[in-house]
Amino acid sequence: MPSNKSVSDAPIIQFTNCRILRSHRLQREDLWVREGKILNPEKLFFDEKGSADIQLDCKDSIIAPGFIDVQINGGFGVDFSLATDDFKSGIDLVSQKILSHGVTSFCPTLVTSPPSVYHQVLPQISIRNGGAHGAGILGAHLEGPFISKEKKGAHPEHCLRTFEAGAFQDLLATYGSLDCVRIVTLAPEMKRSSEVIRELTKRGICVSLGHSVANLSQAEEAVQHGATFITHLFNAMLPFHHRDPGIVGLLTSDKIPAGRRVFYGMISDGIHTNPAALRIAHRAHPKGLVLVTDAIAGMGLAPGRHTLGQQVVEIDGLNTYIAGTKTLSGSVATMDTCVRHFQEATGCSVETALEAASLHAAQLLGIEHKKGTLNYDSDADFLMLNDGLYVQATYIAGEEVWRQDELGM
């Protein structure tokens, strides 16, 4: 047998009998992995004269990139917006548990909180690779407090802030540090937001528009200054109006700078967005749709009372409300459920549904060379799914980190 020693001593794993999502379509090919990366088999055969050390029969499974959740507030009793002494063990628990939902990377999300919470929590969030310990952390998503009072949703009004003179310094003082921050959601109609958007973008932080009463021209101006994302489209923004479609109008705007794509998050849980609205958004701008869970601490727990930052929320079935109101407050949907609901509601292809939970989020964050695809040399973070899009196994860096119990299938 030819030696694999020419480049690396690491074992080469060949996943056979599968359909791989590559170049936007499911292809009958094998997947080759070594040292946590996806290998080009041609280079392996012809340049290294190598072959597989281990072959795994995937039994006709779909192999797709691991899901990336850029908006998740917590789950399994853990609330990322609560400053606790054991915050690190909480984030570890969530990152471990979401492996079973196909999530291999995520952005822990903090809702509007007092500065003291940001100062305590953010130093405890570190960007890290995923593995057997859990999904990788891509950086924090800070949703607020620089948002609109009129569209605060489940965010506590007493913690909301506006930009004062020296707006960016004000933001820095509020958060304490931007070291591990990946996304900031703000309302673009706020005075001085343009300079903040420019400064955040300059630092490689993604600016998202949300919890806002912005009109379309204010939203377009924000995009021209560098904003690239919309936080949970349709929720917590002005409803679409034909004379001024507001932030929703960005999906078909002709004022987006050349070469720039605006992405938008959607909570595809059957609660936050009517299936017809989901279909409208998808048909208007399919390549920008990013599935997010917006999951709260109550995800994975029984109905009842739970927290979302400073607020108490009640879970009733799949509905989550601020206690005593009918104001929606995040979701208890899991990412794999959102993928299945999206595919069913829109009638889109399996490939499209899977890419909305992987590729598009990677493109939004500028990491599509490493995550969100199964291209050669990218990270071997992937899922095995059956035809119903139920996750059968989750792999990070080519290692199996979760598998469905056969009895539970």
d(CA 348, CA 366): 25
Q: Is 253 annotated as a binding residue?
A: no
Q: Is 329 annotated as a binding residue?
A: yes
8-state DSSP, 10? S
Say if residues 408 and 106 touch (Cβ distance below 8 Å).
Answer: no
**Closest C-alpha to 189, from 228, 216, 165:** 216
Q: What strands, in cross-sheet order, belong to the sheet with 311-316?
A: 304-308, 311-316, 319-322
Characterise 75 by phi-psi region: left (phi > 0), alpha (psi -120 to 50), beta (else).
Answer: left
Q: Is 243 annotated as a binding residue?
A: yes
C-alpha count within 13 angstroms, C-beta hemisphere, residue 24: 5
Q: Is 155 annotated as a binding residue?
A: no
**Closest C-alpha to 86, from 121, 51, 47:** 121
In a 10 Å sphere around its CB, with 0-12 CB exposed, 13-18 middle and 19+ buried, how is residue 178 labelled? buried
- Distance (Å) of CA 244 to CA 127, 222, 249, 265: 39, 16, 8, 21
Q: Is 143 annotated as a binding residue?
A: yes
Q: Is 351 annotated as a binding residue?
A: no
Q: Is 328 annotated as a binding residue?
A: yes
Helix (H, G, I), strand (E, B) or coil at 149: coil
Q: Is 140 annotated as a binding residue?
A: no
**The token pair that represents 288 in the structure block:** 């920008």
Catalogue the active-site residues: 294
Q: Is the peptide bond before 115 cis (omega within 30 degrees of 0)?
A: no
**The token pair that represents 325 in the structure block:** 């109101």
Q: Is 374 annotated as a binding residue?
A: no
Q: Is 215 annotated as a binding residue?
A: no
Q: Is 236 annotated as a binding residue?
A: yes
**The token pair that represents 118 in the structure block:** 């940001």
- Known binding-site residues for Zn(2+) equal 143, 211, 232
- Known binding-site residues equal 143, 154, 211, 232, 235-236, 243, 272, 328-330
- Known binding-site residues for substrate equal 154, 235-236, 243, 272, 328-330
